Amino acid sequence: MEQKCKKPGRKYWRTEQEWKGVEEMKEDLNANEIMYAFIRVSLKTDPVPSIDARDDDDIDREEIFQQIAAKTKMDFNVTSSAQFRPEPVGSSHKRIIPSRELPNLSQRESFWQKEEKEERKRIEEEKQRKISMNAELDCARRNREQEESKKRELLLKEREKQIEVIKKAEVEANRVSRDADEQRRWVKQLEEDQKEAMERSQRGEAMKNERTKEAASLISSKASQARAIFEQRARQKTVPLTSVSEKLVSAMPDVTANTGPPDIIADVSSPNPDATDAASKLEKGDEEAKNQYGVCAVALYDYQAADTTEITFDPNQVITHIEKIDPGWWQGVGPDGKFGLFPC
């Protein structure tokens, strides 16, 4: 393989005996670093042509071509490219006729009419195509919206069913818990009522015993006092029975002397003005007391407040300003002036 390298400042031929520099040669050719390259495939016994030269002036191009042609049996005749030889230009004069040079107006008019007709037809077809396309798009959109609305309705129905099931479960759970709470409250209230009834009965029995003892003591004291008074009067000087009987007989009227008819008593007696005045005053006093103290009640038993929201009272004490807020509990002002709840 022989190649002529072009380096800055010098030119030389390089000979390669094997295929080791083919890639480098290709790169050098592409980079315009090599002007000519000759490759020959020969046997190892064939000698490679070589030219001895001391510098670039000793290298002859024709001699190189001759040696290569002798070795490769090829004819390297490098001739110059053929020069361009233009043919002679001929000229022919033609007379200009204005009527022929001007276009035919009728043909031009028919051409433009045809073009306008085709354009209108094209515009109409385009318009119809757009209308049909819009109609298809609208139909597809309506179908899609209907399908989506159906899907949404199905989803909403499923969701409503789920919500209804959840609500029913919650209502059932609340009802069960409420029933259980009411049952517990009812049992607790029943126990409290039984306990309170027992306490009331015990307090009533105790009060009854106390009242009985007080009545017995009062009766015994009054009997002793009456006996003492009677004995004291008995010790005083007694009056003779005869004189007393005579006085009683003289004082008695003569029943037989009065034999006239009995007086007629009127069935309806006239009203007493004093009694009516007293009744009206009593009613006015009751109204004033009601306006001042509201609804009042007298306690039949004692009660001890369980917390600060309740009042305490004893038997026979008056509770004023009563408000009936509940069938089992009322609120009012106790004997100590405190406002609170109490069992009715």
Say yes or no to pLDDT of 61 above 60. yes
46 inside domain: yes
Stretch 307-316: mean pLDDT = 87
Examine the fold and report which residue of 72, 101, 116 is the final residue of a domain before the chain moves on. 72
Inform me whether the pLDDT recorded for 156 exceeds 70. Answer: yes
Among 72, 95, 119, residue at a domain's last position: 72
Q: Is residue 292 part of a domain?
A: yes
Question: Mean pLDDT of all residues in the chain?
Answer: 73
Whether residue 225 is contained in a domain is answered as no
Domain presence at residue 252: no
Percent of the chain with pLDDT over 70: 62
Model confidence pLDDT, tens digit, residues 287-310: 665 567 788 888 888 888 888 888
The enclosing domain of 295 has a CATH number of 2.30.30.40
pLDDT at position 92? 75
**What's the domain range around 300?**
287-344
The answer as to whether 325 is a domain residue is yes
Question: Of 72, 87, 111, which closes a domain?
Answer: 72
3-state SS string for the chain: CEEEEEECCEEEEEECCCCCCHHHHHHHHHCCCEEEEECCCCCCCCCCCCCCCCCHHHCCHHHHHHHHHHHHCCCCCCCCCCCCCCCCCCCCCCCCCHHHHCCCHHHHHHHHHHHHHHHHHHHHHHHHHHHHHHHHHHHHHHHHHHHHHHHHHHHHHHHHHHHHHHHHHHHHHHHHHHHHHHHHHHHHHHHHHHHHHHHHHHHHHHHHHHHHHHHHHHHHHHHHHHHHHHHHHHHCCCCCHHHHHHHHHHHCCCCCCCCCCCCCCCCCCCCCHHHHHHHHHHHHHHHHHHHHHCCCEECCCCECCCCCCECCECCCCEEEEEECCCCCEEEEECCCCCEEEEEC
More confident call, 38 vs 247: 38
Q: How many domains does the chain have?
A: 2
Q: What is the pLDDT of residues 128-151, one digit of tens each?
A: 999 999 999 999 999 999 999 999
Query: What's the confidence (pLDDT) of residue 58?
Result: 74
Residue 56 is assigned to a structural domain of this protein: yes
Residue 157: per-residue pLDDT: 92
| Residue 254 belongs to a domain | no
pLDDT > 50? residue 245: no
The residue among 14 and 244 whose pLDDT is bigger is 14
Tens digits of residue pLDDT in 75-128: 555 555 556 677 777 677 777 777 777 767 788 888 899 999 999 999 999 999
Residue 10 lies in a domain: yes
Of residues 240 and 50, more confidently modeled: 50
> Tell me: the pLDDT tens digits for 176-209?
888 888 888 888 888 888 888 888 888 878 887 8
* Confidence check: pLDDT of 329 > 70: yes
pLDDT of residue 283: 60
